[in-house]
Structure 1
């Protein structure tokens, strides 16, 4: 795997963990309003997106037809002024979670991603195959990996906003 991508995945996840590790369980599950997610729900959404991305990449790798598509500027994902409604498949449950549970779930999903990526013998194939992304359209598989950490960065911004609204000390 490209070292830059690996480093970005790691650095972004570390930033996410730093935002939530000192919260108490009540803060983690508090919703700023009835139409907003809690920090726990944001984290669950990130976990669901990571796990769905693994499935999409695995499916794309099995496809016979290699349709080369144009690479996209996926960095716009970080800009939260571009509103995107989460597809049902990655909508989080409203269950109560402890900080410890969320940390374990985040760790598990990242381990699954890492193990999966290590099983891809020829990494160059990731740039040659594509799968339709629900928000981005047809996307090369390597950009599916890139969108994981960019999407996470987007939601770290959301978590910071939630903490401000809830007046959680930063």
Structure 2
């Protein structure tokens, strides 16, 4: 994994944690409407996506054949006018969360991701194999890693909007 991707993963996660740590339990778990997630649910979704990404990369690595596919513009993730339906496997639960327990879950899922990636001896294989992404189609495994921080940035914008709607003061 390139240093740039690693830096982006760290920077984005750090910004996300800063965005949520000052929230009260009520602000964190309040839903604006039945069709919108709470900030806690958005964060839970990010944890679930990171866990599912580990599985997707692991499955992609197990493919016997070279499954090289064309590279995608993963920056499409940042276009919030384009809506994606979250697959059921990464839909957040409805139970409330404490902010600190969510920060712990985020830290734990990131540690697991980085630990898993560190076990891949030849990182170049990540560009040679792919696995089907629910929103982007067949995606090279190295781009699965890149989409984690882009997806997180997308949802950070959502969190900022939710904070405005909840009238959260800093």
- Measured against the shorter chain, the TM-score band is over 0.9
Q: Which residue of 2 aligns with 1:161?
A: 161
- Give 1:76 deviation, angstroms: 1.0
SS at match of 1:15: helix
Q: Which residue of 2 aligns with 1:21?
A: 21
**Superposed counterparts of 1:98-109, under 5 Å:** 98-109=98-109
Q: Which residue of 2 aligns with 1:130?
A: 130
SS at match of 1:139: strand
- The TM-score with structure 1 as length reference comes to 0.99
Which string of whole-angstrom CA distances, capped at 9 and with x for unpartnered residues, describes residues 124-157 of structure 1?
0000000000110000000000000000000000
Q: Which residue of 1 aligns with 2:82?
A: 82
SS at match of 2:111: helix
Q: Which runs of 4+ in 1 moved over 2 A?
A: none
Once residues 97 and 132 of structure 1 are traced to their aligned partners in structure 2, the CA distance between those partners, rounded to angstroms, is 31
Q: How many residues align?
A: 170
**Superposed counterparts of 1:1-170, under 5 Å:** 1-170=1-170
Unaligned runs of at least 5 residues, structure 2: none
Moved more, 59-68 or 129-138: 59-68
Once residues 106 and 72 of structure 1 are traced to their aligned partners in structure 2, the CA distance between those partners, rounded to angstroms, is 26
Superposition CA RMSD, Å: 0.6
SS at match of 1:31: coil
Once residues 34 and 157 of structure 1 are traced to their aligned partners in structure 2, the CA distance between those partners, rounded to angstroms, is 19
Once residues 61 and 68 of structure 2 are traced to their aligned partners in structure 1, the CA distance between those partners, rounded to angstroms, is 13
Once residues 85 and 9 of structure 1 are traced to their aligned partners in structure 2, the CA distance between those partners, rounded to angstroms, is 23
Which string of whole-angstrom CA distances, capped at 9 and with x for unpartnered residues, describes residues 16-75 of structure 1?
001001111111000111111000000000000000000000111111011221101100
- The TM-score with structure 2 as length reference comes to 0.99
